[in-house]
Amino acid sequence: MIYRKKQELEVTPIEGCMGGEGTVFMEKLLYAPEEMMGKGRAYVRHTLKPGVTIGSHTHEREMETMVIVSGRAVHKINGETQHLEPGDMIAAQPGDTHEIACEGQEPLVLIAQVLYE
């Protein structure tokens, strides 16, 4: 069993995440790959303040799912734009190119998981 309280999670600032704007604050929920049974490289909570983005990137031989916890986002994937709100999720499949940005004045909080193909 793995159990962690929120106050035990280390917050790591990532400046210009994937070539994006501003600083993304990352909390590792699981340490990959050892706590993901070797099947993934990330299970994290990201917080993006207004104006912060995760830049455009392509997933090769992996997929990424994101669930919006709070705030609002603009997500662009393969040229399509989506506006996301709490409870919405996306899944970028192998070969997909996407980016995400905080939309509005409330911070965006999301859970992201990256699994190997």
The whole-model pTM stands at: 0.95
Cα–Cα distance, 46 to 55 (Å, whole number): 14
Task: Categorize the per-residue pLDDT at 7 as very low, low, confident or very high, splitting at 50, 70 and 90.
Answer: very high
Cis peptide before 50 (omega within 30 of 0): no
Topology (CATH) of 15-116: Jelly Rolls (2.60.120)
Interval 8-61: pLDDT, tens = 999 999 999 999 999 999 999 999 999 999 999 999 999 999 999 999 999 999
Every domain of the chain and the residues it spans: 15-116
pLDDT band at residue 94 under the 50/70/90 scheme: very high
**Percentage above 70 pLDDT, the chain:** 100
